[in-house]
Structure formats: C-alpha cells, structure tokens
Chain A
Amino acid sequence: MKRLFSGVINGLAEIWGHKLRSLLTISCVMLGVASMVVTTGFMEGFFGTWEASLQEAGGLEKISGVPQSLSERQAPFAPVSKGFTLADARALTELVPTIAVLSPEIDAESSRLTRKGRRFVGRAQGVTNGIFEINRYEVAEGRMFSDLDMNDHADVIIIGSEVTKNCFQPGENPLGQFLDYNGRPFLIIGVLKHYERLYGTYNTLNWKNDVAFIPITTMASKVQRSDQLSWINMKSEDLSRLRETVDAAANVLAQQHRGLIDFKVKTNEESLASYASTKASFVVGGSAIAGVSLLVSGIGIMNLMLASINERVREIGIRKAIGATPFNIFSQFVAEAVTLSLLGGAAGVGVAVAMIQGLGAVLPPGSAPMLAPSAFWVGFAFSVTAGVLAGIYPAVQAAKLDPIEALRYE
C-alpha cells in the first residue's frame, strides 16, 4: 500500500516535471475515455428507450392481425372481402382456443375531444377490455367497460393523462364529468395511469398517455357507422403455442376473408429480432471504437513511459543499488503509468459530461445521449486497463536493466 502510494506520488512528480509531454499523453487518454463514455451514453439511452417501448407495446405473446394490400393476382377480387370486422373477432374467439385475450380495435387518429372550450386532439379508439391486458394499460381511477356498456353501445369514455391535462384544470377530478366527442357527450368512467420514462426531459412513453377509449360497439355504430376494424390484437395463452396460434388465426382470417390475403398476422418476435440485431451491431461498433481509443491511449502512455525510462536509466540503477528489487522497479513504473491514465480518465469523464450536456441541449430529445452511471465505470475501467497494459512493457524493460550498466549511464 505504502509503495503503491509512493508510486502515485512519483508519478505525479514525473508528470509535473514534464508538463507538456504529460499534457499531450493525458489528452490522448482524455479523448479516448470521453469518446467511450459518450458512445456508451448514446447506446444506453437509445436501447433503454427502445426496450421499454417494446415492453410497453405488449410482450412476446402478443399477436397482431393487421391489414395488408392484396397481391397483384388477388387484387381484382378486392370487393369480395370486407376486411377486418367484428365478425372476425367473434370467429377467432370461437375457433382458436389458444387465444387467451382478444382485442379488436377501431382507431380514430386526430379525434377531437372538447369540454368547455378546452380541447384535446389525438387518438381515440374503440376497444374492448382486452386492450388493457394486451397493450398493458391500467385504469388508475374509475372502472373499465362493463358488459352493459358494450351491449348498450353506451356513451362512456376512459381517458389518458394527456386528455385530462388538456381538458381539465389542474386538480379537477374528471371522473363522472362529460367530454364531447363527435357531437355527443361521453361520460368519463375511468382515468388511465400516467406512463412516464424520461429520456432527458422527453417522456418516451407519452404515446400511452395520449389516448381515449370508448366501447368498440359505440365506435362502430355511432361514430364510424360501420364495423370495419383497424386491426385485431391477440394474446397467446402460452408462449410455446405462439406459432400454432398464429397459424390458426391466419387460417380463420383467410376463411372469413373468403381466401383473400388482405391481412397479415405478425408477432413481436420480429421487432424483438430487429432490436436484438441492431443492438448486436451497435455493440460491435461500440467495442471497435473502444478498442481504437484504448489503443491510441495506450500508445500515448507507452511512448511517454519509454521516453521517461530512457531519461531515468541512472535513477533505476541507483534504486537497484540501494535495494530495489526488479519487482519494486516494475511496480513503480506501472503505478506511474496508471496515475497518468487515471488523470486522463478523470479529465475524459469531465469532458464527456460536458459533451453529453451540450449535445442534450442541441439534439432533439429522442436522440440525445444519456448520462449513464455505468459510463463512469466504463471510463474508470478503461483508463486503468490502458495504463496497466501500456505500462507493462516499459516497466518490464526498466526492471530488467542491469544496475551496473544503468549506473554508468550518462
């Protein structure tokens, strides 16, 4: 411990003794560490957000039936199929037992909800209670839809926190109040939980707050005036039967649509696979950047250490003559190299923090790097590794010096 400490003191004295040379070397390490930390920050921010969005959009068990344009061969028969309808939903429920939950949805983007001169423009959806389970929504206050709401095509609505924010005063309780949608008043029976995952100051989950749900029957009969669905989401009972469920659903839909493949049945596996492959390529790219930075820092440190040892041959001879073992000399020089690179590492983390904050101010919120705590460890580990690796060779050279030759050296 004492020797390590004296190694660090020695290192600091050497750095002070050769200010310009040390400054250049420290800059090498600083830039290496800064680029490492910023790259890590970018990746952490980017993939953290992506992963959370994947989770919130329903897990792996989610299956979606979505419209797709017909192939050229089938195109002339387009009028034969009515596309997704409520009848499809009923057929799927009846014929595919491995579907645990089903959520037929009618999506009305840019809907206007108004109340006492205040308004919200956003997504309104006609849904069943299935959406809460499949797309992971939670009713924080009030209730979900009842069978009566569904059968009666009731004018009831469940709103997200953005709707509350836009149409109500702060502190006002929306439950039991009315919102006008499509020219008729809807009773607010539920308020969704507020979803938040901040990326800087940007809430990456705000899309979950930006919604209003009404019963699908109401949407079909009173707003859209047709039972045409935007899509159907399903949840497989069991992940091991996912494939089977997808095939069965596709069969039922093909039957319902009279053989026209104007739909596609897809799972989250695809988005998960693209997430995984993108992440893998980023990790490879990031590692390459880290490797190059490490190499550059290492070369800088090694260069300085070799120059320093060349100048201090006599000192090494003296130290050996008065009792330093080769290991003492070795550890002295490794400690000096590590001191040097730790200084560079500390400076690099400082620069990275400044850069991340600067980029955060300039770049749009979704793509700015995040200050990840792990980045500090990465920077620290990086500089110690560079110091040790680059210090070893010069230190071995120093430890191997013949004391007699070294003492003779002028």
Chain B
Amino acid sequence: MNSVREVLRLDRVGKRYPMGDTIVDALVDASFTLNEGEAVAILGPSGSGKSTLMHLLGFLDSPTSGEVIFEGRPVAALTERQRARIRAEKIGFVFQAFNLLPRLSVRANVALPLAYNSAPPADAEARVDRALELVGMTHRAHHKPGELSGGQRQRVAIARALVNEPRILLADEPTGNLDTKTAAAILDLFQELNRLGRTIIVVTHSPEIAARFKRQIHVLDGRVTEGSA
C-alpha cells in the first residue's frame, strides 16, 4: 500500500478578530489535510482570509477555535519557543515583499535561519552553498539585496527558506512583486523543488498561478473549499 504521510491538518479552524465594535470572522470552520510531497495553491481574492490561513499554517498566529495539527501534534499545546523551533527547522517562509535584511549580504541573509537552529548544523557553510546553487544565485553571494533585481531577491528569499532543508515551503504571493517572465521562472523553481520531494504551499490571488498546482484550496469570505485543477 502506498502510505501517505500527513504533515499539517486543520480541524474546524476558526479565527475571529475584533475590529472596532464589530467582530470579523476571518476564517470559519476550515478543515483540510496537507500531505508530504504535495504542491498546493491557496487561492482567494484579497481580504478573503488567505493571509490569516497562511499565518495559522506557519504558527505565527493561533486560531480562536479548532485545532492546527503539525505532524500529529496539536500546535496549541506547544510553547512559543517550540513553535519557533519548528519554524526554524521544518518550515520555510517566502514572502511577497521578499523580506531580506538590507544590511546583510546575500550569503548572510541565506544563513540567517541557521542561527536559530537548536543545534547549528556542522555543514552550515555547505548548506548555504547548496541553497544558493539551487536558486542559481551563487554568483551574487556577496552582494547586498539592494543591488539585486526583484526576481533575484525572491530567489535569495527562497534560498533562505530552503537552507534548513524544511519539509514545508510556505509562500505568500511569492510572485506578487515580479514581472510575468520572472514570475514564471520562480514558479518553475517551486515545481522543481516539489519534484525533489518538498511540500509546497503557495498563497495567491491569481487563478492562473493557482492553475499550475495539482491541488487548489479556495478561500472566500473566510470559508474554505477544496477545488481542483
């Protein structure tokens, strides 16, 4: 039997925000399972609740109801420190705005997550080299982010997300600030990474981008529905 390993599961997850006098339901009863090796697009217009969903999947936020379960353990039971460790070691984040530290070189930016590893890997240098090579940025390793184009910066951000060899890559509108051609190259890179066995979750508002992923999850007004390619 071909066993599928569950990585992340949402069980009737809800998120409410107080906003002024009213209460906003950003997410209502969201339930789905993400398995190892999947490539998933979370699709929804802006304000639909997909960013909330992304924050919940990355433990940056806690649900007001329901449970997020990571590798079989409920996230609510973890301390903030344990969550930070999981983020450091098992989840790689890619942001729309790249979020590189402008002071640091490309190399130092990529190496940043290694500093937060509980035991810094012995092959830290080699890992940084591998990650830079994977995204094709080895030749710019000593530049500052300000000296790079948007596509190059996003490649560096992806290398940073990959340096700890995480099981999951969480990307929030990774092509939002890029032109069409560069965006296509980044999406090709994600597909390549997925083929290498990584679980990829991409949050996007663009149906065209979502269409490139095997599985799609639609978010609209805080409600989650399973779509298909």
Contacts and interface: CB of A to CB of B under 8 A. Distances in A.
The 3 closest A-B pairs by CB, nearest first: A323-B88, A323-B116, A325-B84
A321 B87 contact: yes
Given A318-B99, A328-B116, A323 B60 contact: no
Contact of A325 (B55, B61, B81): B81
A6 B103 contact: no
Contacts, number: 61
B101 A318 contact: yes
A6 B58 CA distance: 26
A328 B84 CA distance: 10
B119 to A, nearest CB: 11
B116 A324 contact: yes
B116 A403 contact: no
Contacts of A323: 84-85, 87-89, 113, 116-117, 164
A143 B87 CA distance: 86
A319 interface: yes
A319 B55 contact: no
A320 B115 contact: no
B141 to A, nearest CB: 18
Contacts of B161: 322
Contact of A321 (B85, B93, B120, B164): B93
B124 to A, nearest CB: 10
Interface in B185-210: none
B131 to A, nearest CB: 13
Contacts of B84: 320, 323-326, 328
Nearest to B115: A6
Given A3-B115, A404-B55, A322 B160 contact: yes
Contact of B116 (A315, A317, A325, A404): A325
Nearest to B95: A407
Main secondary structure, interface of B, reads helix
B80 interface: yes
Given A3-B115, A322-B116, A323-B116, A13 B89 contact: no
26 contacts: A2-B115, A314-B99, A317-B99, A318-B99, A318-B101, A319-B116, A321-B58, A321-B60, A321-B87, A321-B95, A321-B99, A322-B112, A322-B116, A323-B116, A324-B88, A324-B116, A325-B80, A325-B84, A325-B85, A325-B116, A326-B80, A326-B81, A328-B84, A403-B60, A404-B60, A404-B61
Contacts of B116: 319, 322-325, 328
A319 B112 contact: yes
Contacts of B115: 2-3, 6, 328
Contacts of B81: 325-327
Nearest to A13: B103
Interface string B57-85: 01011000000000000000000110011
A36 B117 CA distance: 41
A364 interface: no
B113 to A, nearest CB: 5
A16 to B, nearest CB: 9
Nearest to B100: A318
A2 B103 contact: no
Given A14-B103, A321-B93, 4 more contacts: A321-B95, A322-B112, A323-B116, A407-B95
Contacts of B85: 323, 325
Interface string A304-335: 00000000001101111111111110000000
Interface string A29-72: 00000000000000000000000000000000000000000000
A17 interface: yes
Contacts of B93: 321-322
A321 B87 CA distance: 7
Contacts of A14: 103
A321 B93 CA distance: 7
B98 to A, nearest CB: 10
B88 A407 contact: no
Nearest to A14: B103
B217 to A, nearest CB: 20
B95 A322 contact: no
Q: Which among A14, A317, A319 has the highest number of chain B CB atoms within 10 Å?
A: A319
A6 to B, nearest CB: 6
B156 to A, nearest CB: 13
A307 to B, nearest CB: 16
Contacts of B58: 321
Name, among B99, B113, B160, the residue most crowded by chain A CB atoms within 10 Å (CB to CB): B99
Contacts of A326: 80-81, 84
Contacts of B112: 319, 322
A317 B99 CA distance: 9
A319 B160 CA distance: 11
A252 B205 CA distance: 110
Contacts of B101: 315, 318
Interface string B150-166: 00000000001100100
